[in-house]
Amino acid sequence: MLGVVVLGGVSLVVSIATGLFLSGMIGGIVAWLWFGVVIAWLLLWGTRLAVRASAARPTLAG
């Protein structure tokens, strides 16, 4: 799960930098919004997957 967060943060920074330097301010804003939506979706998906996996795993309490 930490890997997803780190990867999301890195890709967000890269997308902002790429958008600002290669496409100008408008491209940077669009890239930031697009990757923000994608990263939010990935984090929600990863969280749901982790919750399902932990719920299906048997515990010592039974």
27 touches 15 (CB < 8 A): no
Summarize pLDDT for 50-60 with one digit per residue, the tens: 888 887 766 66
Q: How far is it, in rounded angstroms, from Cα 10 to Cα 33?
A: 15
Alpha-carbon span 58 to 42, nearest angstrom: 26
pLDDT of res. 15 = 79
Higher-pLDDT residue of 61, 39: 39
Q: Which two tokens stand for residue 27?
A: 């491209």
pLDDT in tens, 17-56: 777 776 677 777 777 788 888 888 888 888 888 888 887 7
- Give the pLDDT confidence score for residue 33 in this predicted structure: 84
Determine the longest span between alpha carbons in the chain, in angstroms: 57
Q: Give the start-to-end residue ranges of the domains of the chain.
A: 25-51
